[in-house]
Every structure is written in C-alpha cells, then in structure tokens.
Chains A and B, each alone.
Chain A
Amino acid sequence: MLRQAASAAAEVLVGGRGAGMTHAWLFTGPPGSGRSAAAKAFAAALLCPDQGCGHCDSCHQVEVGSHPDLESVRPQGLSYSVKQTRELILRAAGRATQGGWRIVLFEDADRATEQAANALLKAIEEPPPRTVWLLCSPAADDMIITIRSRCRVVTLRTPSTQAVTHVLTTRDNVPQQIAESAARAAQGRISRARRLALDESVRRRREAVLSLPRTLTGVGECINAAERLVKTADEDAAAATSELNETETSELRALYGEGSSGKGLNKGLIRGGAGALKELENAQKSRATRIKRESLDSALLDLMAFYRDVLAVQFGAQVELANEDRRPDLEVLARTGTAEDTLRRVDAILLCRERLAANVNPQIAVEAMTLSLRNPRG
C-alpha cells in the first residue's frame, strides 16, 4: 500500500491524479513493531526521486534527520501541549524547499493532549496541497476519533521472535544464542531486544527484576523490593538527564547573554532570561518524570511476562516462554500457587501500571503491587 502511495505521490508531483496518495497517515502498532521506522521509510520514499532508493542524498538526509522538508517531532516530556502544536502547524504550512513534499513526522502522537489534538484537526483535514502528516501511535484508539477519521491507518503487527532474532544477528552482529534470548525476553519490542542484546547492564537489570518474585517472603521484603525498583528508575532518569540538562541550561544561559563581555553588556541574564530558564526547567522535569515512568514500566512489563509464563506452565500451554531461561523458577511458582493466584498477580501489576499513569506516587503504587504479589488474596 505504501509503495503504491509513494508512486502515486510521485505522480502528483508531475501533475497527475495520484490515486492512492493522501495527506494524512496514522501508523499504529504495538511497541516494537517499528511504527516510527515505517513512517520514516515512507517519508524517505516520498522525498526520494526514486521512491526510496536508500542511497541517494535525500534518503540519507531523512535517515540522519537533516532533510529540510521533513519536520520530525518527538515529544520529550509527558505530553505535547496545544501551544507546541500550534507552532508545529505553522511550520507544517511552509512550502517545501526542494519542490516536493513537506512532511511532518509526529512520533508518539498519542502524547498530544486533547486540546493539542483538537488544534491539529483543521491542519490534518485540509493541509496545504503538498504537506503530508505522518502520525504514529500504539493503537488507533489512542487518537481522538476526529483525528482517526481524517487519517489513513497503516496497521503494523508485532514481529515474531524469529524475525527479531534475525534482525539482531544480521544487523547488529549479535551471537545467535544471545539474540534469541533477547528477542524472547523483549516480546517483539525490537528496540528493547537490541538493548538487551547489546548492553550488559540492561540484561543485569532484567535479571534483578525477575529475581524479585522469589524475594517477596515478608512484608518488610516487599517494601524493600519496591524501594529498590523505584530507586533504580530514579537513577535511570538521573543518568539519562543530568548531563543533558546541564548543557541545555548553560546553552540557554549563554543565549541570554551570560558570560558575555564587552562594552555596554551586563554580566547577568538579559530580560526574559529568568522566565526562559524556568520554562526549560519545567520541560526538563517533565522529561525526567517520563523517563522514570518508562523505566519503571519496562520493569513491570518484564514482571508481567514472567507471571504470564507461570500461567502458561500452570496450564501446560505449548507456547513460547519469554523467560525460558528461568524455567526452574517458573515451575516452583507454578506449583506453589493456583492459576487464580497468578492471574491476581498479573492484575496487581496492571493496576500498578494504571496507577503510575494516573500520577500516583510511584513508591506507594509499587509497594501495593509487591504486597499483592506476595499475597494475591490479601
């Protein structure tokens, strides 16, 4: 469908009818299905004179993110505000510099707030003749219905373990065995599988999370386990943001005239500097919260896959286990509890994820979860 669209798009450019091309696309698929990768490839195909040859200047520019006609948006904070959206719409309305299409690639479009999504409506419905919107979200339901109805939906599916293994061994030169276990553990999320395969510390983190169910023997242990989980997430956020924050702040300070010398210049920040700094600080805080939540969520997903495997063992289901390497643990847990207990535990993890999304204090939410994991009928 996309290839057809790309050739239709080329037809439009030379003045043809271009059946099969449209101005708004919504790429949906579960995490790891490569939504943004697919959207990017489509963008490259639209911008490339050969409809995505992969080796011309244009394709290369799209690949590294420097193509002048590709506006790439990836929300960094918890949400994408209506103000940012309005600015984006303005930029999207510009004419393409190279005479082709002007493309806006909006990753994680589900992060847009409701107001922001409403602001997008008009722009998506009737964009300037050569502007194309490419939105990405995990599921079509994540976007408000008025946006969904204005887009052509491209649905991607989760790649199989085999496919992920193949990518890891061929593209990243990962040994077969590690690639396989990483692909199984990541449950189809390619980026996660890649990190698991390439980064020793990510693997160790996963091991720590998965050894958690065995340690939940008493109430005190549950509280300690929760504390460790939350602390690790905090450290992740701190590690990912501290250096970035510092450079951003000093750059902004320099922009507002700090450290400048010469006649007629004052040493401190010029007017508006303090406000801009405050704004930056808020954005950084929001980003840190998001990273923290995502790190915690990734741990919870690992745990959930673990209990899913326990359930599979309990039922004797012949499915591929994400945690094949921990089969003894799975069997012990499968024997000591009933399937109902396991389901209750999975529910507790789901509840915790919901609570985290609802802004409940992470430590409190995770404590409640570990306690439920210990005694699911409590």
Chain B
Amino acid sequence: MLPGMGNVAAVTLVVGDEELLADRAVGAVVAEVREGGEVAEVHDLLGGKVEAGELTRLTSPSLFGDRAIIVIRSAQDLSKDVIAEVVKYANNPGEDAVLVLAHPGGVKGKALVDGVKKAGARLVIVTKLTKAGERIDFIRNEVRQAGHTITPVAAQALLDAVGSDLRELAAACSQLIFDTGTKSIGEDAVARYHRGRAEVSGFTVADLAVEGKAGEALEQLRWALATGVAPVLIVSALAGGLRSLAKVSGAPRNANENQLASQLGMPPWKIRNARRQLNGWGPEGLSRAIQSVARADEQVKGGGTDPAYALENTVQTIIANRTGH
C-alpha cells in the first residue's frame, strides 16, 4: 500500500438523504487521501451515467503511479451490470484507488448497498435531521468547529430566520463566524444579519391572534403566506385555537387540568395554555370570532377572490372581538 493512503478505507459507502452531510462525508474521504500530500485525481461520477467497464478502467493501476479517487453520487441510479461490477470490486479492491459511493437510502439500488456492506466497506450514515433540537445542535457544532461559540438564544434566532435547510444553516453559520469579531456569537450579531422568519406555522398566527396581539399576528400571517403556508392550514389553526378556548371556557374553572384532559379530549398543556389565553374573552366575542373563521374558510375555498384578504380580515375580527365583552 502506498504511503498516505494507509488509513483510508478502500471503499466507503455513504447512506442517507441529508445532502449536505453526504457531501461532507465524501469530502472528508477526499481530504483524508490528500492529507499525506499525495496527488490524487478525483473522478466525480453520477450514478445514472456510469457505464459498464468504466469503474474497472478507472481503478486499474496507473502507469505513473497516480492515485485515483472515484466518487459515484446518486448511486441508486446505477444499472444492474454496474452494480455487479461495483460489488465485485468492493470484494477485492485495488490498492491505489479509493471508491466512495453516495446512496440516498430507500429501496432503489438496494442490491448495491447490501452487496457493498457485505464486502466490508466503511459505512457512513447521514440521515435528515427532523427535530428542532437536532438542528440547534448542528448550529452549535458548526460554530464550535470554527473555534467560536454561540448562545442558545442566538442559535434559536438563527434557526427561526434561516429555516431548517442544513445547507443554508451551514452557510449562515460560516458567514456569521466570518463577520463576528468576538469569540462568542450573541443574539444581536444574529439580529444584525437575519430578520423575520423562514418558517411560520398557522399555529403561531393563531396563538398571537387569540392573545390579541394585532400587529404581530398580522406580521406573522404575512410571513406565513409569503413562505408558502397553505391558507387552509392557517384557517384550521385559527379554528383550532378558538375551539380549545370555547371548550375550556365551558368547563368548570376550578377543575384540575389532568382531570379535564380526558373529558375535553385535549392534552393538559393545551388546557393550561387555553386558560391563560381565555383572559379577555367573553362568550359572545368568542362566538363571533368562530363565525368569522367559518366565513374565512368558505372564502379561502373559492367563495372569495383573495385568500390573503379573507385571512387578514378574520384575524382582525378575532382580535376586535376579544376586547368586546
């Protein structure tokens, strides 16, 4: 084996649908190979375009002793013959070539994953992050790797403003690190570059409307519509918010939340929340607010010309009826 390549696995399989992490895993292998200062040519191939025999040609020893790194992306698109070739190679890899396969997971091209795994390739799994907490961790990790720190509040603000796409988050982090002179990134640093929200759910709008915060509710409503939340979802969130208020308003005031939970069919935290929000609401106002949401649902579903107008109108009606009586 040649110097500099001693620790690198001959075949690496990257499985997972998180593109950024998959790219990084591939990049890490390339960097590892080059660490020894050796020159290595990278052949970056797309699964659907690899022809039979190509791998054999690329992995065969070069006359000049150059090393080759073969990266096959979208490996699920490889044809049957090529998969057989890859698996055969993985069972008996050459000494001066490194093969990296990126597969998004799933059933397509599963034979490749199974075959290469069996051959003892190094496996890297990169799955999509689904929880907000995982994304916060990702941000903090990004910043820490660059030798900086970020406060939890700032990380949350960044996540709110940029959204959940990891590539965008990573880019935002590196930009912030570059622009911030101090070691720690605070809330104000984030606020200087990022404002607003990338992702607003109907529930945010509903909570603000029910709490009577007119300005914020309308602002968030605009954000939600601008980022492509379906008007129908916002209406149903508004209806849901008012519905829980109405349900809780009908229940005895001094009853325990946990006992009420089963009776009302709502989780205790939601009852607690609704009790807090009920401040300022009277039965007639609540009734009119719910009526206006029904009107909005009708308008959003083709009864009116402009869903955005219908939504703004109903948010305003809800807020106006809160302070009613």
Say which residue of B235, B251, B298, B303 sits within 8 Å of A220 (CB atoms): B251
Stretch at the interface among B77-85, B137-145, B288-296: B288-296
Query: Does B283 contact A367, Cβ atoms closer than 8 Å?
Result: no
User: Given the complex, which residues of A lie within 8 Å of B286, measured CB to CB?
Assistant: 219
Q: Please encode chain B, from 228 to 269, with 1 for each CB lying within 8 Å of some chain A CB and 0 for all others.
A: 000000011001000100111111000000000000000000
Q: With the chains together, A372 CA to B291 CA distance in Å? A: 8
Given contacts A358-B302, A361-B297, contact A221 B290 (CB under 8 A): no
**Closest-CB distance, B241 to chain A (whole angstroms):** 12
Cβ of B284 under 8 Å from chain A: yes
User: Given the complex, which residues of A lie within 8 Å of B283, measured CB to CB?
Assistant: 218-219
Query: Does A223 contact B297, Cβ atoms closer than 8 Å?
Result: no
Q: Please encode chain A, from 355 to 375, with 1 for each CB lying within 8 Å of some chain B CB and 0 for all others.
A: 100111101110110011011
Cβ of A266 under 8 Å from chain B: no
Given contacts A371-B287, A371-B291, contact A363 B239 (CB under 8 A): yes
Given contacts A219-B249, A220-B246, A224-B250, contact A360 B287 (CB under 8 A): no
Say which residue of A355, A358, A365, A375 sits within 8 Å of B287 (CB atoms): A375
Query: What does DSSP make chain A's interface, helix, strand, loop or mixed?
Result: helix
Cβ of A262 under 8 Å from chain B: no
Cβ of A378 under 8 Å from chain B: yes
User: Given the complex, which residues of A lie within 8 Å of B246, measured CB to CB?
Assistant: 219-220, 222-223
**Closest-CB distance, A233 to chain B (whole angstroms):** 17
Query: Does B290 contact A360, Cβ atoms closer than 8 Å?
Result: no
Query: Does B239 contact A361, Cβ atoms closer than 8 Å?
Result: yes
Query: What does DSSP make chain B's interface, helix, strand, loop or mixed?
Result: helix
Given contacts A360-B301, A367-B243, contact A219 B294 (CB under 8 A): no
Say which residue of B250, B284, B288, B297 sits within 8 Å of A360 (CB atoms): B297
Chain A interface residue number, banded: 20 to 34
Instruction: Name the residue of chain B whose CB is nearest to the CB of A348.
Output: B291
Query: Does B250 contact A220, Cβ atoms closer than 8 Å?
Result: yes
User: Given the complex, which residues of A lie within 8 Å of B235, measured CB to CB?
Assistant: 361, 364
Query: Does B293 contact A364, Cβ atoms closer than 8 Å?
Result: yes
Query: Does A219 contact B250, Cβ atoms closer than 8 Å?
Result: yes
User: Given the complex, which residues of B lie within 8 Å of A224, measured CB to CB?
Assistant: 247, 250
Q: Please encode chain B, from 273 to 293, with 1 for each CB lying within 8 Å of some chain A CB and 0 for all others.
A: 000000000011011101101
**Closest-CB distance, A219 to chain B (whole angstroms):** 5
Query: Does B291 contact A360, Cβ atoms closer than 8 Å?
Result: no
User: Given the complex, which residues of B lie within 8 Å of A359, measured CB to CB?
Assistant: 301-302
Instruction: Name the residue of chain A whose CB is nearest to the CB of B295.
Output: A368
Instruction: Name the residue of chain A whose CB is nearest to the CB of B301.
Output: A359
Query: Does B236 contact A368, Cβ atoms closer than 8 Å?
Result: no
20 residue pairs from A and B, CB less than 8 Å apart: A219-B286, A219-B287, A219-B290, A220-B249, A220-B251, A222-B246, A223-B243, A223-B290, A360-B297, A361-B235, A363-B239, A364-B294, A364-B297, A365-B294, A367-B239, A367-B243, A368-B291, A368-B294, A371-B287, A378-B287
